[in-house]
Amino acid sequence: MICGVFEDFILQVLCVAAVVNTLIGVWEHGWENGWIDGASIMIAILIITFVTVGNDYAKEKQFQKLMSKSDECKIAVRRNDAIVELDSE
């Protein structure tokens, strides 16, 4: 499920930007300050990933609930000369 999130082109660009920005930042400013921009991009990637996975999970649960409801229907049957409605389950 998480791997499906990284199929998004924008997220792939952000991953590349995080690595490149970290490398350039460390090259120019050293480890003390150079990693900050790359780390902030990585935090944004993590937030996007968790929100997307949570959203997809909620949608899947709602879809499963809807599908289980669509399988149910009322059926009229005759029992002892009386017509009774029963669930299909």
Query: Of 17 and 71, which is predicted with more confidence?
Result: 17
Amino acid of residue 38: G
Residues 65-88 have pLDDT tens digits of 888 776 667 777 777 877 777 776
Parallel, antiparallel or unpaired: strands 74-79 and 82-87: antiparallel
What are φ and ψ of residue 71, in 5° steps? -75, -20
Distance CA 14, CA 72 (A): 45
Query: Of 29 and 24, which is predicted with more confidence?
Result: 24
pTM of the model: 0.65
Residue in 61, 58, 56, 40 with CA at minimum distance from that of residue 7: 56
Predicted pLDDT at 82: 79
CA neighbours within 13 Å on the CB side: how many for 12?
Answer: 6
For the residues 28-53, what does the mean pLDDT come to? Answer: 89
